[in-house]
């Protein structure tokens, strides 16, 4: 296969590139190297893959650049994005141009390509907006939980997206969702949308705005203070990067069955943790004590979000294999081994 990865030097993109290069695909990495860590990931890819790998320094806001890159590819993984809610609040125009216009540009480039490529779009659970916070909760010692039996497995794909308070980030990513589905229905493009929860793992350079699992680990290992927004009992399902990469691989094989569809993707109800529980696990695994301060809740922060992954399990027989403890341990070991990348 000839694969184009937008954001190919980012966290998800670089892991996808590494996997498919190891499996003898040709990979074209398209990235503007704006995000922290992308240059290091690009260097790592070049060092480890001497053939079948090429790089274009480009921006998804440029239609002409995307059109040229997309011309003769079989698969497009669209991972390039503005990924932080807080950044979208500070500069909503930039967020819109990257996430909404950039995704539209990609679809138009694919529509005009020579090869009718498969397109997998990495969306977000933020498309559900503040609706999630309307679900009754029960508070326990270290976490919140949904207090409604209907959501015991998490949020399904047919959960309402129609509400205010998506934040600009949620709005811009949701526009991508809508366009992906419509370009399948109207133009017949082979699109798949993954509404992803918290993905974590190696090659990730997180901060307090995005990539919170690795941010907590980095803070612990380097003895940096850690700020929790809210009380720390907010819960997410987390998914290790190797499980996500395996999903992409399976999705390509099953494209004729699942094209045009949208799936909630995360660790699911079996792989959840609160911020407080994650800190406790990191402290146990590193034999350290994290330095914690608290600040106000952030806008539209969901107290509980868990992906109901029943649909993707049923449709293509995929589910996570890496447990929370195993994944966090793997990531701690990677950060410890690669301290020089964080200096």
Residue 120, beta-bridge partner list: 77, 192
Among residues 176, 75, 68, the alpha carbon closest in space to that of 112 is found at: 68
| φ/ψ (deg, to 5) at 252 | -65, -45
pLDDT at 303: 92
Give the 3-state secondary structure of residue 326. helix
pLDDT at 103: 98
Residue 32 clears pLDDT 70, i.e. is over it: yes
Residue 68 clears pLDDT 70, i.e. is over it: yes
From the centroid of its chain, how far is CA 254? 21
Given the residues 169, 174, 200, 305, the one annotated as active site: 169
Give how many domains the chain has, as a whole number: 1
Segment 221-234, tens digit of pLDDT: 999 999 999 999 99
Q: Which of 86-95, 164-173, 189-198, 322-331 has the lowest mean pLDDT?
A: 164-173
pLDDT at 209: 67
pLDDT at 343: 74
Token pair for residue 240?
A: 């290790």
| Between 210 and 69, the higher pLDDT residue | 69
CA distances to 87, 202, 211, 243, 312 from 82, in Å: 8, 20, 13, 23, 26
Domain that holds residue 159: 2-342
Residue 130 clears pLDDT 90, i.e. is over it: no
Domain CATH number, residue 328: 3.40.50.720
Segment 168-209, tens digit of pLDDT: 999 999 999 999 999 999 999 999 999 999 999 999 997 766
State the Cα–Cα distance between residues 191 and 183, nearest whole angstrom: 8
Residue 324 clears pLDDT 80, i.e. is over it: yes
State the Cα–Cα distance between residues 30 and 76, nearest whole angstrom: 10
Token pair for residue 126?
A: 């933020």
| Strand 118-124, strand 75-78: pairing | parallel
pLDDT at 210: 75
CA distances to 28, 156, 253 from 68, in Å: 12, 37, 26
Residue 300 clears pLDDT 90, i.e. is over it: no
DSSP labels, 7-38: TTTSHHHHHHHHHHHHTT-EEEEEE---STTH
- Is 169 known to be catalytic? yes
Q: Output the pTM of the full model.
A: 0.96
pLDDT at 208: 65
Average pLDDT over residues 144-162: 96
Report residue 45's pLDDT band, with 50, 70 and 90 as the boundaries: very high
Average pLDDT over residues 57-61: 97
State the Cα–Cα distance between residues 177 and 107, nearest whole angstrom: 11
């Amino acid at each position: 296969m000839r694969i184009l990865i937008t954001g190919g030097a980012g966290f998800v993109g670089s892991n996808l590139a590494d996997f498919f290069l190891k499996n003898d695909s040709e990979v074209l990495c398209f990235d503007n190297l704006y995000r922290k860590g992308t240059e290091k990931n690009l260097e790592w890819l070049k060092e480890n893959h001497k053939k079948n790998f090429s790089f274009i320094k480009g921006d998804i806001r440029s239609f002409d650049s995307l059109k040229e890159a997309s011309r003769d590819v079989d698969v497009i993984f669209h991972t390039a994005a503005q990924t932080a809610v807080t950044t979208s609040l500070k500069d909503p125009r930039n967020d819109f141009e990257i996430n909404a216009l950039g995704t539209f540009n990609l679809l138009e480039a694919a529509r005009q390509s020579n090869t009718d490529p498969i397109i997998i779009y990495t969306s977000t659970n933020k498309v559900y907006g503040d609706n999630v916070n309307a679900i009754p909760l029960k508070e326990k010692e270290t976490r919140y939980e949904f207090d409604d039996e209907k959501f015991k497995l998490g949020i399904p794909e047919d959960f309402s997206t129609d509400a205010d308070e998506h934040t600009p980030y949620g709005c811009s990513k949701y526009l991508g969702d809508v366009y992906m589905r419509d370009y399948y229905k109207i133009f017949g493009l082979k699109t798949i949308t993954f509404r992803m929860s918290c993905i974590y793992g190696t090659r990730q350079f997180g901060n307090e705005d995005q990539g919170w699992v690795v941010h907590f680990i980095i803070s612990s290992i380097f003895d940096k203070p850690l700020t929790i927004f809210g009380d720390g009992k907010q819960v997410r399902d987390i998914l290790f990067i190797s499980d996500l990469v395996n999903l992409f691989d399976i999705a390509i094989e099953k494209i004729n069955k699942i094209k045009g569809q949208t799936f909630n993707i995360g660790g699911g109800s079996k792989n959840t943790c609160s911020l407080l529980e994650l800190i406790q696990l990191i402290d146990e695994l590193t034999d350290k004590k994290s330095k914690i301060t608290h600040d106000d809740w952030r806008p539209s922060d969901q107290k509980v979000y868990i992906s109901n992954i029943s649909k993707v399990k049923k449709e293509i027989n995929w589910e996570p294999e890496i447990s929370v403890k195993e994944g966090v341990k793997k990531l701690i070991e990677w950060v410890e081994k690669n301290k020089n990348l964080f200096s």
